[in-house]
Homo-oligomer: A and B are copies of this chain.
Amino acid sequence: MMTLNQLFGTTLPVIQAPMAGVQGSALAVAVSNAGGLGSLPCALLSSDAVRKELAAIKAQTDKPFNVNFFSHVSPEPDVQRDAEWRTKLAPYYAEFGIDAGTIPAGPGRTPFSAEAAELLSEFKPAVVSFHFGLPSAELLARVRSWGAKIISTATTVEEARWLEMRGVDAIIAQGVEAGGHRGLFLSDDLSTQMGTFALLPQIVRAVNVPVIAAGGIADAKGVAAAMMLGAAGVQIGTAYLLCPEATTSQVHRAALKSASSHHTTVTNLFTGRPARAIVNRFIKEQGAINAAVPVFPLATSAITPLRAAAEGRGSGDFSPLWAGQNTSGCKEQAAAELTRELAFGL
């Protein structure tokens, strides 16, 4: 089997996890130049923004990098459900003096598309990764046309087998410790989600492509432990959140450095899909998993003005403070240095 470095053209089998909303090209460039695989998350970016970021990466590195997209199916807007949710949030809007009638019903996050594939073909990234399954076979073929390697996330053995059958080049085994969106796509039953220690070796045993470990890995010992369990490499997100190259907000950075970072939970409140974040006031008051939340990604619009207003007061009470269960690796240091530390011993 090819090593991950051979597959990607990297020198270190460390992938900086794509983290929409808290990083752009700067973090990806730093990690790729250090020998790892930097990632550009595109789920929250317009086509123009993607183009601008890809140009910035190309201008600053000739190393391989990864471009990440969500591959969900956009839902039909549901005006009634949206209205009911905003009614539930009315006391918060009142608290911050927000006129609920003025909040736009934005799309939240857009999935991978033919337009995105066309744009990517100009920049020919070495790796394209997906979350929530895969786009259509036709779109995948377009991505492959310039030789890009395709990877995606599995949170169960079944999902890993599903991805392998569709020809992915490597599979990210995302343990339940991981921060941000759970990649589950064959089931919405959260009890199927396993810890990295259980998930990783079972996926390694089930498939014949390289497996990348994600979830709870925060330092070189964690990387070594993942390799011991059969990983060909690792994908690490949380540890990069305090790097100067990340665009992590001040309230998010403050939360990561505080004791509150020790208590995260999987919540659907911020986007409609389960994602791991630090427990804050909004989660405590509305419950981490709330059945009234609009479906992904439509939930985003209702919370956006509350988040902005609270952050304006220096509060992360309504922000998605994405983080994994192991924040012990978060350090305010250059991403290149962090990447080399994580890969120490490899």
The B-contacting residues of A in range 276-313, CB under 8 angstroms, are 279, 288
A226 contact set on B, CB distance < 8 A = 197, 225
The tally of residues in A whose CB lies under 8 Å from a CB in B reads: 40
CB pair B217–A221 under 8 Å, yes or no, is no
Most buried by B among A176, A197, A229: A197
A42 contact set on B, CB distance < 8 A = none
Q: Which of A56-64, A244-252, A320-328, A336-344 contacts B (4 or more CB under 8 A)?
A: A320-328
Which of chain B's residues has its CB closest to A279's CB?
B191
CB pair B157–A262 under 8 Å, yes or no, is yes
A239 CB, nearest partner CB in chain B, Å: 12
Q: Which of A33-41, A116-124, A198-206 contacts B (4 or more CB under 8 A)?
A: A198-206
> How would residues 238 to 277 of chain A score, 1 for a CB under 8 Å from any chain B CB and 0 otherwise?
0000000000000000000000001111100000000000
Please report A residues at the B interface, Cβ cutoff 8 Å. 156-157, 175-177, 191-192, 194-199, 201-202, 205, 215-219, 221-222, 224-226, 228-230, 262-266, 279, 288, 324-326, 328
List the 8 closest A-B pairs by CB distance, nearest first: A195-B195, A197-B216, A198-B325, A198-B326, A198-B216, A191-B265, A177-B195, A225-B225
Q: With A191-B263, A198-B216 given, can you name 12 additional A-B contacts, CB distance below 8 Å? A: A191-B264, A191-B279, A195-B197, A196-B216, A197-B225, A197-B326, A198-B215, A198-B326, A199-B325, A221-B228, A225-B228, A225-B229
